[in-house]
Amino acid sequence: MDDSKNFRFSLQVIIVPFIAVFSIWLVYWSEIRFGYNFTKYGILPKTVTGLKGVLYSPFIHSSTSHLINNSIPLAVLLWSLFFFYKELAFKTLVFGLLLTGLLTWSFARESYHIGASGVVYMLFSFVFFSGLIRKHYRLVALSLAVVFLYGGMIWYVFPIKSGMSWEGHLSGFIVGLLLAILYRNKGPQKKEFVFTQTKFDLMFDENGNYNPEALIEKETEEQL
């Protein structure tokens, strides 16, 4: 597919990031305004009731700083996904969210895991590795830009800070990588340049020696 069709602006590039960020802020505002505590709807690993958090946990945040730290990268990475990978965007987002939640549920420590950071890490990983795998110059540039902006996040896939769901971060990172590999042949692809012969090329023989008579012979053969 032509790059002009792959990288074309559409309303979903703006609408999806806006809805995502607006939703997590609305949930947080509801908690404060009406005195709710939605933490119990987070992921509680290895429990049947905790499975509901696979869907709900990305919308729940523990503090304003937690919410702000997730909002900006979520918006930027969703914009990147829907602009550069529009053919894969929705399936990547949906499957990525579900698989990240399930992987977190399968091995994380016994605690409620909340926040959109798992999805953020999934998006970061997908965008970064997709560019490197496809080797398309625009997507590689995007990968480098993402690393420049958010490369420091990689440290938080390790348990270096108490109270932070490093398991959710690691799950998102792994799922993003797997999706990048799985969808590597779909969406934008590196163009293979094919060099065609010109009349100038035909003026040289197979050994690279200048031979203008070769061109005359070639044209004569074509006429016959």
pLDDT digits 0-9 by tens, 49-96: 999 999 999 999 999 999 999 999 999 999 999 999 999 999 999 999
Dihedral sign (CA 152, 154, 156, 158): negative
What backbone phi and psi angles, to 5 degrees, belong to 209? -90, 140
| CA–CA distances in Å: residue 118 to residues 38, 74, 79, 141, 183 | 17, 10, 17, 24, 20
pTM for the complete prediction?
A: 0.84
Confidence grade of residue 7 (pLDDT, cut at 50, 70, 90):
confident
pLDDT tens digits for 133-177?
Answer: 998 889 999 999 999 999 999 999 999 988 899 999 999 999 999
pLDDT tens digits for 42-60?
Answer: 999 999 999 999 999 999 9
Mean pLDDT of the chain: 88
Share of the chain above pLDDT 70, in %: 82
Whether the pLDDT of residue 192 is over 70: the answer is: no
pLDDT tens digits for 205-220?
Answer: 666 665 666 555 655 5
Task: Determine the pLDDT at residue 201.
Answer: 59
Query: Residue type at 141?
Result: A
Domain boundaries, the chain: 3-182, 194-224
Q: Which fold has domain 3-182?
A: Rhomboid-like fold (1.20.1540)
Provide the 10 A C-beta neighbour count for residue 60.
25
CA distance linking residue 128 with residue 180, whole number of Å: 9
Whether the pLDDT of residue 24 is over 60: the answer is: yes
Task: Determine the pLDDT at residue 117.
Answer: 97
